[in-house]
């Protein structure tokens, strides 16, 4: 007997597909409404780069004396690389106005775009930093760092 293969995927690249939205408010972040999404800001057109935004769980060793094998259990959940680099404006009219340090809200990561029925992740966050690195060979950016404030909502259905 042969196992049934997983279904074929329609592969894509993030550029031109993935969106990041800022939601200043979300009554139930496990199920944002279309009105809350529409009231937010699509950051995508000004994003130069992003961190991973991976929702990961640490593993914790759980050895016992019955064996030399060390089993592991799931540990605390965290977000790996919650950063967004956005283009800086020469007149200072850029993301610094929208997301000053200390601002609380939600990052909505839409890997397959803002399309009803597809999946997204919702990150309750606080803006930690607006770094302004100097790089003389690339356009200037504002590097936003975020602190997740609650457990992210994964694989949330994008509302119509």
With 0-12 / 13-18 / 19 or more C-beta atoms within 10 angstroms meaning exposed / middle / buried, residue 127 is buried
- What six digits make up the tokens of 160? 């119509």
- Whole-model pTM over 0.75: yes
pLDDT of residue 136: 82
- For residue 83, what are the contacts with CB-CB under 8 A and spacing of at least 6? 50, 51, 143, 144, 145, 146
Helix H or strand E encompassing 104? strand 104-110
Q: Please say whether the beta carbons of 114 and 37 come within 8 A.
A: yes
Helix H or strand E encompassing 98? helix 95-98
pLDDT tens-digit profile, the chain (160 residues): 899 999 999 999 999 999 999 999 999 999 999 999 999 999 999 999 999 999 999 999 999 999 999 999 999 999 999 999 999 999 999 999 999 999 999 999 999 999 999 999 999 999 999 999 888 888 999 999 999 999 999 999 999 9
- What six digits make up the tokens of 91? 């007149």
pLDDT of residue 103: 98
Q: Please say whether the beta carbons of 20 and 58 come within 8 A.
A: no
What are the structural domains, with CATH classification, of the chain?
19-157 (2.40.30)
pLDDT of residue 97: 96
With 0-12 / 13-18 / 19 or more C-beta atoms within 10 angstroms meaning exposed / middle / buried, residue 43 is buried
């Amino acid at each position: 007997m042969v196992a049934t293969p997983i279904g074929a995927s329609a592969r894509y690249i993030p550029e031109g597909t993935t969106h990041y939205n800022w939601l200043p408010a979300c009554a139930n972040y496990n199920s944002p409404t279309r009105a809350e999404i529409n009231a937010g800001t699509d950051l995508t057109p000004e994003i130069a780069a992003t961190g991973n935004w991976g929702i990961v769980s640490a593993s914790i060793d759980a050895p016992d004396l019955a064996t030399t094998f060390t089993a592991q259990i799931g540990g605390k959940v965290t977000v790996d690389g919650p950063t967004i680099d956005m283009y800086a404006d020469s007149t200072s009219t850029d993301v610094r106005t929208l997301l000053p340090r200390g601002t609380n809200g939600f990052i909505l990561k839409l890997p397959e775009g803002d399309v009803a029925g597809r999946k997204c992740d919702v990150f309750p966050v606080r803006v930690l930093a607006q770094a302004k690195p100097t790089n003389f060979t690339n356009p200037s950016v504002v590097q936003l760092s975020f602190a997740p404030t609650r457990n992210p909502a994964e694989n949330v259905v994008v509302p119509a």
